[in-house]
Amino acid sequence: MGKSMLAIILGLGVLLAGVSGSYALQAGGVEVGDLETGSVVGQPFKELSVDASFVAIEIGNTKTWYPPMTVIDFKTRPGSPVLLKVTNNATAEHGFRLSAAVNQSAPTVLDIKLVLKPGETRYIGVPTSDLFYNTGSVLEYSCHLHAGHVGGKLLMLK
């Protein structure tokens, strides 16, 4: 191997040493917004179908996110970003946390936190690549503001 070829290989090695890997939530990232102005990876929320809806409700003295179990079947679903609708129908402010932290502990793990006022609706857009990276098949949702409130699970069939 000639000196010039060796210099090119060494130079390329030094150049590549400064490149970092791509991690979850960096391929497009989670976006939170309203239906009219929100978008994820360049796709407006209003052009996407809502894949799942979560509603904060009060049943007697129990405050919960409904439904307690949600399933999204990705075997038959197109590869467009996932759109989740989150509504607070309760009389007080509630948090909504959707997390894969039960499955993973990496700093890039999917962990979304929102605070919703009474009557407020927000939308969460997640690229499928970010959703599947480091998440396993089950995500948990709960109120991160009130530990005693009942949450649920999102099951992803891949």
Domain ranges of the chain: 24-157
The pLDDT tens digits of the residues spanning 145-155 come to: 998 999 999 99
DSSP bridge pairs for 63: 58
What mean pLDDT is predicted for residues 46-72?
95
DSSP bridge pairs for 57: 64
Q: Right CATH number for 24-157 from 3.40.50.620, 3.40.50.1220, 1.10.390.10, 2.60.40.420?
A: 2.60.40.420
Q: Residue 34: is its pLDDT beyond 50?
A: yes
Per the CB < 8 A criterion, the answer to whether 70 and 152 are in contact is yes
- Quote the pLDDT of residue 129: 81
96 SS3 class: strand
Name the pTM for this structure: 0.79
The pLDDT tens digits of the residues spanning 76-123 come to: 888 889 999 999 999 999 999 998 866 556 666 788 999 999 999 999
Strands 62-66 and 69-73: unpaired
What mean pLDDT is predicted for residues 122-144?
85
**Torsion, Cα of 35, 138, 104, 74 (10° steps):** -70
What mean pLDDT is predicted for residues 127-132?
82
Give the H or E element holding residue 5: helix 3-17
pLDDT averaged over every residue in the chain: 81
- Quote the pLDDT of residue 135: 62
What mean pLDDT is predicted for residues 22-40?
74
Share of residues in the chain with pLDDT > 90 (%)? 56
Which residue in the block uniquely carries the two structure tokens 């009557």?
119
- Quote the pLDDT of residue 17: 38
Per the CB < 8 A criterion, the answer to whether 123 and 115 are in contact is no
Q: What's CA 109's distance to the chain center, in Å?
A: 9
What mean pLDDT is predicted for residues 39-62?
94
